Amino acid sequence: MNNWILLQADGGAGIMGQVFLFGSIILIMYFFMIRPQQKKQKETKNFLEAIKKGDTVVTIGGIHGKIYAIEGDSVTLELDKGVKIKVEKSAISADYTKKATGIK
């Protein structure tokens, strides 16, 4: 009878250890994967909201141009005199633009 009670107590400790291990793994994933991704998304959103006419930008496809006009979610880029293309704001890359213009 006493052995049965001891086995139950050990089983409870094993479950708590597993819960602690699982919780630790989730916490590590949050700090190394989820949090940095959220921070990057926030920086990209702020960058896209801050762009204005005349800024030099680079699209995700690698097209360099100056912002000619902003209309809602669309941006008109001037590539050269008289050469304009219309792209979505989401097609502008914050990373490529910062590298190309030297902004940190």
pLDDT level of residue 14 (50, 70, 90 thresholds)? confident
Residue that is written with structure tokens 């006419």 in the block = 53
CA distance 25 to 40: 22
Domain that holds residue 19: 1-50
Same domain assignment for residues 57 and 90:
yes
Tally the domains of the chain: 2
Q: What is the pLDDT of residues 41-70, one digit of tens each?
A: 999 999 999 999 999 999 999 999 999 999
- The amino acid occupying position 92 is I
pLDDT of amino acid 75: 95
Q: What amino acid is encoded at 90 in this protein?
A: S
pTM of the shown model? 0.67
74: CATH:
2.30.30
84, 98 contact by CB (below 8 A)? no
* Percentage of the chain exceeding pLDDT 70: 86
The angle subtended at Cα 51 by Cα 47 and Cα 56, nearest 5°, is 105
Write the DSSP symbol of residue 54: T
Residues 57 and 99 placed together within one structural domain of the fold: yes
